[in-house]
Amino acid sequence: MEPPYYNKTVEETFEEAQTSPSGLTSVEARRRLSIYGPNTLEKGTVINPFYVFLHQFMDPLIYILIIAAGVTTFLGDWIDTGVIIAVIIIDAIIGFSQEIKAEQAVSALKTLTAPRARVIRNGHVEEVSGEELVPGDIVLLASGTRVPADLRLIESIHMEVDESTITGESLPVKKDTAALSVKGVAIGDIHNMAFMGTLVTSGRGQGIVVATGTKTQLGSISVEVARVKKTATPLQDRLSHLSSRIGIAILGLSIVAVALGIIIGERLIDMLLTGIALAVGAIPEGLPVVVTITLAIGVKRMADKNAIIRRLPAVETLGSTTVIASDKTGTMTRNEMTVVRAYAGGRHYRVSGVGYSPDGEILAEDKDDPRNNKALEMCLRAGLLANESDLEFDEDKKEYFPRGDPTEVGLIVSAMKGGLSEGQERVRYVELDELPFESERMYMASLHKDPGGEGNIAFIKGAPDRILGMCDRAMSDEGEEVEVDKGQVYSIVDSMGAEGLRVLAMAYKKFPPHITGIEPEMLSDGAVFLGLQGMYDPPREEVYEAIRQAKMSGIRVIMVTGDHKATALTIARKLGISGDGAALTGQELDAMTDDELYEAVGRVSVFSRVSPLHKLRIVQQLIRRGEVVAVTGDGVNDTPALKAAHIGVAMGKSGTDAAKETAEMIITDDNFASIFAAVKEGRVVFANIRKVVLFLLSSGFGQVIFILATLAMRLPLPLLPSQIIWMNLVTNGLQDVAMAFEPPEKGIEYQKPRPRGEPIISRLMAERLVVIGVVLALGTLAIYTWELERGVSIDKARTAALTTLVLYQLFNVFNARSETRSAFRMSPLSNPFLFFSIVASIIAQVAAIYWEPLQFMFRTTPLELADWLVIIPVAMTVILVVEAEKALRRLIKKG
């Protein structure tokens, strides 16, 4: 097998690509275009909008709603029919628009390809369409250019490329042309290639096209995005399962009711109407509406906490998340390089403060005053002046804003903490010349007039081994030049590196006044070593608490980053993600089978130097283990994993269009803490959905038992079809919606995530549903038979039974507000919408009993005071029984 292009020399690449420095001829370019095809990305499967719209109706709950619409039409209840049909159509339109938008993720990838490219063809420079590039083309790159294909670089002049959309690494990568000797290198470590979709941030260069279209790194990602199957959310699975079971149960019970009625001598037409009405009463037709409203409320609450939800089911999915696989840079960290350690004049220092604010100080480990160390002052000055970046202060916002490379800005901030003023230093040390950083040199230098001497001085900063190679002396803390102990310095560099710090060394070299320009050979020796500065990207303060709470909630946090292993582990330890130091690199993942990775993701929480496909594999194996996975991302490299996860979380500030289009949720402040805040809201949403389900099904179950019991006892029909419809309107019309506004119960964020396979109706709910249903049925049956035994009219008995059921269900609302807490410990006004909806329902029921137009419509008769004195206490038994059951469960749990 041929070695990859990054292992080939420039000459070997020319030979392999069958091209030359003068480029391809137009004839050859056309020939290759016919062979390799256009330089475009995977378009994926063509979406049929008509099929997508029809697909919205393929859901068991929608089937139930359609049946309910047919039933209400049959009964002539045109208002209910219109409402149900409107709900069906609105849900279909929302689902259609969301699904179409989700599939635009692949299209968003195409925006990263360059529409035009400058190439060498026929021996001179031409500009061609990016789609016409072919392997063997020579492409010219300059600052600001979007790389149009995968290129093996043949020339690199001060060139740096932002590869964050591919690798996730925050800092620009310095490019060179030297062949790499190692195979299986992570993308972020391939310094002699430029990849499609990345951005040249500085310098210029040339490269040979070695891959186009779907053969590029970006292309392989687009193929994965198009082919990855979206995982159904837990809510979708549970609702589908619940709806199917409800539909079958209701159909069976309705058939039993009709059969019983016919057996006892009721007319067939009456029993058919009763069976249909019973189905309408038992079907929780309000459930899809309430679920949508509950999710919408969750969306609003999350938006207030910097989380924008693009797909409603994602709200609940967050609440059942068991694993969050998150990026490091900018999500868990501030994306602001900060100097935290310094070494100069033989002494060690800690630097306080984080980010780009100069609030902080330099503290000596030996408690001595840092201002007494001349070497430290010069070390800080070198970092400040050998610098191409700036730190600006906005007077209006009272904030500092970086301009340039984050590492260089970090050096400016450390100098300011040491008492140096950027403006004053640049005035005192007038710059004469500069050697910009080049990857071949691994340092940069600037020449200045020395205000304290008769000549000029060059300040140098760069890689420690390169700087030490220039130095034969070092500055002591008293400002004297002494022999440099390189072994000791290398030991300190290793110590800082083990902490995950990026270490830079500083030095200076003096020149006579007539030297006003510098060249690399002038700095090769004779320099004076000044010291070291170690920096890292600090974690966000609020992330510490968010991860601690996530652990308490049973949510595991995994770091998946493009950064180096040492850096990732340092941040992971500080945040409490990894205590055992276990981490896997992308290179190690390449050597693992899926089964080996399946075992590894169960114990390893830090993955470094990962590629897009590595991240996808990690997510897939977590899902295979039964985890409910939320994954964060901001670049094109993240889109396959975002789509494969149960919920993709894109970054709002740094995220690409492709990531945002693919994700279900967007974090506007790019902060991990906002993700956990959204998790809490997701749990509240699911808890409220469960409350609605318990309320609706327990009430419907009680109705069914009551009617079946009366039929079995060969009693007259206890409720007419119109009365059943009225009861559902007055008890479910507002209360189920109002319960969507229930505030979160205390401590909900610390509950363990629900098991993936746990149904919406838990065992506790099922048991309580039976208890409530039996209480409702027995109490109403007692009132009905009592009225009949008193010799009242059948209409009066039915009115009493109807009123009892209505009050039962209104009292039952208070039971459903919490699975464990006593209803008497929850303020009725904590959910004012619910409280006033109950008041409105009571008024409506009283009107149905005493207002003649409604009496005529529903065949009710007025109740006397004696009736109310019996009905109200009986209806209140539902609260007393459930309170006793809750108290018993609490005692059992304590014991």
Structure tokens at 336: 């602001």
State the Cα–Cα distance between residues 185 and 6, nearest whole angstrom.
9
Q: Which residues contact 788 (CB under 8 A, 6 or more apart)?
A: 715, 716, 794, 797
Phi and psi dihedrals of 629, rounded to 5?
-110, 130
State the Cα–Cα distance between residues 809 and 516, nearest whole angstrom.
91
Query: Is the alpha carbon torsion for 807, 813, 819, 820 positive or negative?
Result: negative
Decide: helix, strand or coil at residue 374.
helix
State the Cα–Cα distance between residues 816 and 834, nearest whole angstrom.
12
Q: Which residues contact 646 (CB under 8 A, 6 or more apart)?
A: 231, 233, 234, 317, 321, 623, 628, 629, 630
- Give the Å distances, CA to CA, from 398 to 357, 391, 393, 546: 10, 13, 7, 28
Which residues make beta-bridge pairs with 206? 140, 155
Do residues 646 and 321 make contact, with C-beta atoms less than 8 angstroms apart?
yes
Q: Considering only CA atoms, which of 267, 269, 256, 315 is closest in space to residue 291?
A: 315
> Alpha-carbon dihedral of residues 697, 702, 705, 707, nearest 10 degrees?
-110
Structure tokens at 170: 């925050």
Burial annotation 553-567 (CB, 10 A radius, 16+ → b, else e): bebbbbbbbbbbbbb
DSSP 796-809: HHHHHHHHHHHHHH
State the Cα–Cα distance between residues 350 and 121, nearest whole angstrom.
56
Residue 806 burial (10 A CB sphere; 0-12, 13-18, 19+): buried
Q: Which residues contact 768 (CB under 8 A, 6 or more apart)?
A: 694, 698, 815, 819, 882, 885
State the Cα–Cα distance between residues 187 and 607, nearest whole angstrom.
15
Structure tokens at 706: 């009551």
Query: Is the alpha carbon torsion for 664, 668, 671, 675 positive or negative?
Result: negative
State the Cα–Cα distance between residues 401 and 399, nearest whole angstrom.
7
Q: Which residues contact 746 (CB under 8 A, 6 or more apart)?
A: none
DSSP 711-725: HHTTPPPSS-HHHHH
Structure tokens at 674: 């906002």
| Secondary structure element (H or E) that encloses residue 250, with its range | helix 234-263
Structure tokens at 838: 């109950």
State the Cα–Cα distance between residues 388 and 461, nearest whole angstrom.
12
Q: Which residues contact 501 (CB under 8 A, 6 or more apart)?
A: 340, 341, 534, 535, 536, 570
Catalytic positions, written as ranges: 327
Phi and psi dihedrals of 505, rounded to 5?
-105, 150
**Helix axes of 763-789 and 794-816: crossing angle, nearest 10 degrees:** 160
